[in-house]
Amino acid sequence: MTQISPIPVPIGQDTPCIGCGYNLRGLEPGGRCPECSLPVADSIRGDRLCFADPGWLHKLRFGASLKLWNILIAILGGMIGGIFVGMLGLPVQLLSMFNIVAALLGFWATYCITTQEPRTSLTEDPVTLRKIIRTCAVTTCVGGIAQQLAGIALAPGTAIRGAHLIWILIGLVSGIAGLVVLVGEMIYFRRFALRAPDVKLARSTGRMMWGLGITFGLATVGGVVLSLIAGFIPGATTTTAGTPGAVGVTTTATGGPAAGLAVVGACLFVPAMLIFFIWYLVLLSRYRKLIQNAWEHSQRTAQVQ
């Protein structure tokens, strides 16, 4: 008995090509995209990460590696470095230069992580999480570098009252923008875990996102309050280091009530931030491996085709 081959049924719903974003509606599953010649079958498999564009996955992997180094430098410069500068009497300018490098590295990592996926290039909305994160990344980087340069220009222990309020406002804006970038990146990574799929990794990321986000926000607000006290209450002097690597507001008080608050804040927030950032490093290493595996799978699929 002769078997009759089924007639190919055209795609009946909007389906973007994973290579260029072209709408494949009306095409047959066995065909190819008329724009980039990628097989239609690759695009109808769903949004599994291992079936994504290899070039896009390569940028994600590079961004995850940069973020690992960014967090390491932020820990060494923004936390441990500040302690050694105070103990050894080293120039604060060295810490400021270290933090500028971290801020630039963090900005580069964020842009790689939020690279637009080809399949959404033709359907992306005017306002998206990706665009918000990138805008806030620019704000955080510029604000952080401005604070660091101001710290280099000013002698340690001095505060120009006319510019102090502007300095605090820059720190507040860049701190809020940094919080948006931090939480937004973790939302991005969590989406990658769900597309792998790796539910345990996604849950761990969600817990860490809330813990680190709340701690970061409280530390930013505390740094601003401490700067206000140090700048406008007689007898309090301060040296503000800015936003080390888009991680937080660091303020070192040397006298008056600001000194006591600085000690309390350091005892509360520095250990918590350190724990969360070490947790973040562990998750980032897992995400880099996850993206690496997806990239290798997509490469093998592309070679077969």
Task: Give the model's pLDDT for residue 36.
Answer: 84
Would you say residue 190 has pLDDT above 90?
yes
- pLDDT of 132-182, one tens digit each? 999 999 999 999 888 878 766 654 455 455 566 777 788 888 889 999 999
Task: Give the model's pLDDT for residue 21.
Answer: 83
The residues near 239 (Cβ < 8 Å, ≥ 6 apart) are 92, 151, 154, 156, 157, 158, 251, 252, 254
Task: Give the model's pLDDT for residue 38.
Answer: 82
Q: How many Cα atoms sit within 13 Å of 108 on the Cβ side? A: 14
Mean pLDDT, to the nearest integer, of 117-137?
87
26 is a domain residue: no
204 is a domain residue: yes
145 is a domain residue: yes
DSSP state at residue 127: S
The residues near 42 (Cβ < 8 Å, ≥ 6 apart) are 18, 19, 51, 301, 305
Q: What is the pTM of this model?
A: 0.77
**Of 48 and 206, the one with more pLDDT:** 206
24 is a domain residue: no
d(CA 117, CA 300): 19
Mean pLDDT, to the nearest integer, of 240-247?
42
Task: Give the model's pLDDT for residue 107.
Answer: 95
28 is a domain residue: no
- pLDDT of 16-28, one tens digit each? 887 788 888 888 8
**Of 144 and 8, the one with more pLDDT:** 144
How many domains in the chain?
1
The answer to whether 252 and 238 are in contact (CB under 8 A) is yes
What confidence tier does 249 reach under pLDDT thresholds 50, 70, 90?
very low
What confidence tier does 296 reach under pLDDT thresholds 50, 70, 90?
very high
Crossing angle of helices 256-304/199-232, nearest 10°? 150
Give Dmax (Cα) for the chain. 99
Closest of 256, 181, 186, 196 to residue 46, by C-alpha? 196
- pLDDT of 263-276, one tens digit each? 556 667 778 888 88
Please give the structure tokens belonging to residue 28: 């047959």
Domain containing 269 equals 53-115+127-300
107 is a domain residue: yes
What confidence tier does 1 reach under pLDDT thresholds 50, 70, 90?
very low
- pLDDT of 46-89, one tens digit each? 778 888 889 999 999 999 999 999 888 877 766 666 666 666 66
288 is a domain residue: yes
- Compute the Cα dihedral for 164, 147, 60, 37 and give only its sign: positive
6 is a domain residue: no
